[in-house]
Structure 1
Amino acid sequence: MNLPTQVKIVEVGPRDGLQNEKEDVPAEVKIALVDRLSAAGFANIEAAAFVSPKWVPQMATSRQVMDGIARKPGVIYSALTPNLQGFEAALAARADEVVIFGSASEAFSQRNINCSIAESIARFEPVARAAKEHGIRLRGSISTAFGCPYQGEVPLAAVSDVVARMRDLGCDEIDIADTIGVATPRHAQAVMAAAIAAFPIERLSGHFHDTYGQALANIYASLELGIAIFHSSVAGLGGCPYAKGATGNVATEDVLYMLNGLGIDTGIDLDQVVDAGAYISQFLGRKGASRAGNALLAKRAP
């Protein structure tokens, strides 16, 4: 079986990982984290979110972070933008890519943003137009594509429908996210195949959560289909708000350890990522959630 020879990892720790932290993480710590990740070789780092600080207080320093990071040439620094106001802020902060987000689950869309999937996509039309006018990359993120905390199973047709809607908005890349981490490998392949039917495979990415310990298996299953972009979070930052005490994002160190073992090139230095994970975990006052990261740190200890 021919797996991709190269994989792009989108590092989401500074945004998706830190946004749920209860304790304030100062801008200078976020800046230092992004700079460490840039130095490690990531081609794409999700660094900010221009959302209401009332709803996501941790992201209130996004402008300071974007102004303070040492930008590495060729690296895409992404920002989440739920509306035109967020887009304008991202534009002013010199974001290389803006991220819009919808759901594959009608129940999730209604419960979270009080509107239908179709209405939520329509709200992004002005953001998509503005991104195209300013020559900024546009990424679409589709949550609850593998299962929903409210409706349970999500039909494959619903996934391909939202992918097609995001495609028609002009998205350069689309993420298929397992928000609650319930997917298993065969199911992961079925969902990704539904997405591939509606969008070019080379611009599709898998965003797997490790709630039930299945993320690496699901990434491998997606690699078998030819998916070559994945999201992960340094030190496994970010919990799953729908499963008490559960881990959320798959840890970048674990993904890199597996890809390195498969001989797949990422252009990323695992040791530097381990250092970045240790840095942020030390600041947060807890052990990182990455098994590979913790094992490699233990191996270094005298």
Structure 2
Amino acid sequence: MTPRESGGPPDGLPVRVAMDGLPARVRIYEVGPRDGLQNEAAAVPVRVKAEFIRRLAGAGLTTVEATSFVHPRWVPQLADAEQLYPELAPLAASGVRLPVLVPNERGLDRALALGAREFAVFASATESFARANLNRTVAQSLAMFAPVIRTAAEAGATRVRGYVSMCFGDPWEGPVATADVVRVGVRLLELGCTELSLGDTIGVATPGQVAALLDAFGRAGVAPGRLAVHFHDTYGQALANTLTALRHGVTTVDASAGGLGGCPFARSATGNLATEDLLWMLHGLGIETGVELSALAATSRWMAGQLGRPSPSRTVRALTGD
């Protein structure tokens, strides 16, 4: 079914009407292959993962988080990192950024041995999630990351991103204090992270909370150019929260093609913000991304077929007729 047949716009694109106070361009940090596929009940074959990443890059995404070098016992869906990453060498050579998540020095060593040069570490703003996800306190996890970040820099890493999870709410502890999030984020920057991704892991944030957190980081001396946002759409707030972040100067947004993902360590977390839904909003606002929406929707439809279920992205369904 074509967009015209489904009642959508004849060219499959939103009407572009700009708004004041928004950036001219946004970088999309695609997390589907890692954060999306790690939440699948069964592991996806390496050949399918590699093709997925190639198609994402072909649609114009220039930053695609490829995989995670965690112990297979913790995330068995990504146990094939050593097999997958070499398949992506031609993409890396062409300039596509392929960051990988590394939980500790052992994971970093594995990634470095395969030629990876862009990394991410995953911290928590709350004690409960730090114990569930890392089996450590917040302080212990930050101490664990210190040599990882230092060694990565010494090995020639181009970037090290610091994820901060549970920035707005925690399923065990409830609302999260803004000061706790800022403290963890600032410490990651002090350790050498080049960027912070602020995660609404269980999708409970609303725009007022987002504005308050970004203002707090500003008062702590952290420029919005060093921040990214990572929203889950549990309560349908991800796009509203993203727009709030853009108004506060953030220009890097995490999203997952087709809305894949959740969090294996927080069962109340539902899918990530779908990249296609984000693109529909950004392109409608006249914000450049370099990503071709129709090609990305086709990629997500293909991936949904590989997984045996429809894409949860509203935009994918609208554009493809699924």
Question: Is the 8 Å Cα contact of residues 196 and 204 (structure 1) preserved in structure 2?
Answer: no
In 2, the alpha carbon distance for the partners of 1:183 and 1:175 equals: 15
Aligned counterpart in structure 1 of residue 146 of structure 2, from 125, 134, 140: 125
The amino acid across from 1:78 in the alignment is P
Q: Deviations over 1:170-218 (max 9, x none)?
A: 1111100000000011111112222333422112100000011110010
Distance in 1 between the 2:185 and 2:43 partners?
35
Query: How large is the RMSD of aligned CA atoms in angstroms?
Result: 1.4
How far apart are the structure 2 equivalents of 1:140 and 1:6?
A: 22
Q: Secondary structure of 1:207's match?
A: strand
Q: 1:54, 1:248 → 2: CA distance?
A: 23
1:193-212 alignment, distance < 5 Å: 193-198=215-220, 199-212=222-235
**Identity across the alignment (%):** 46
For residue 254 of structure 1, the aligned residue among 277, 297, 300 is 277
The answer for the alignment partner of 1:179 in structure 2 is 201
Select which of 79, 84, 97 maps to 2:105. 84
**Quick check: 1:268 aligned with 2:288?**
no
Aligned: 1:16 with 2:35:
yes
Q: What does residue 7 of structure 1 align with?
A: 26
The equivalent residue for 2:95 is 74
Question: Which residue in the other structure is 2:117 paired with?
Answer: 96
Secondary structure in 2 matching 1:191: helix
Matched, 1:135 2:156: yes
Residue 37 (structure 1) aligned with residue 60 (structure 2): no
In structure 2, relative to structure 1, the CA distance for the partners of 1:30 and 1:111 (3 Å cut) is: closer
Does structure 1 conserve the Cα–Cα contact (< 8 Å) formed by 2:59 and 2:296?
yes
- 1:151 and 2:170 aligned: no
How far did residue 114 of structure 1 move? 3.2
Decide whether aligned partners of structure 1 residues 24 and 240 sit closer, same or farther in structure 2, where only a CA change above 3 A counts: closer
- Deviations 1:208-257 (Å, cap 9, x if unpaired)? 0001111001001111111110100001001355455x632010000001
Letter paired with 1:141: Y
Contact (CA 8 Å) 2:39, 2:263: kept in 1 or not?
no
Q: Distance in 2 between matches of 1:213 and 1:51?
A: 30
TM-score normalized with structure 2 length: 0.89
Q: Is the 8 A contact 1:9 1:44 kept in 2?
A: yes
Q: Which runs of 5+ in 2 are unaligned?
A: 1-19
Letter in 1 for 2:91: R
Number of the residue aligned with 2:73: 54
- Alignment partners' CA distance in 1, 2:37 and 2:132: 23
Q: What letter is aligned with 2:27?
A: K
Q: Which amino acid aligns with 2:153?
A: K
- 1:104-119, aligned counterparts within 5 Å? 104-119=125-140
Q: 1:167 aligns with which of 184, 189, 194?
A: 189
After the TM superposition, which of the residue ranges 235-244 and 188-197 deviates more from structure 2?
235-244
| CA positional deviation for 1:106 | 2.2
Q: Matched residue of 1:263: which SS? A: coil
Question: Looking at both structures, which has the greater relative contact order when contacts are Cα pairs under 8 Å and sequence separation is at least 6?
Answer: 2
Contact 1:37 1:276 in 2 (8 A): yes
Structure 1 counterpart of 2:240, from 217, 223, 230: 217
In the TM superposition, what whole-angstrom CA distance separates every residue of 1:91-124 from its partner, at most 9, and x where no partner exists?
A: 1222231110111112322343332211110101
Contact 2:117 2:156 in 1 (8 A): no
1:20, CA displacement in angstroms? 1.2
Assess, with a 3 A threshold, how the Cα gap between structure 1 residues 240 and 56 changes in structure 2: closer, same or farther. Answer: closer
Moved more, 264-273 or 71-80: 71-80
Number of residue pairs matched by the alignment: 298
Structure 1 runs, 4 residues or longer, greater than 4 Å off: none
Q: How big is each residue's C-alpha offset from its partner over 1:25-54, in whole Å with a ceiling of 9 and x where there is no partner?
A: 100000000000111111211001001111
CA distance in 2, matches of 1:119, 1:188: 27
- Structure 1 residue aligned with 2:311: 288
Residues in 2 aligned to 1:85 and 1:205: alpha-carbon distance in whole angstroms = 26
Q: Secondary structure at the match of 2:38?
A: coil
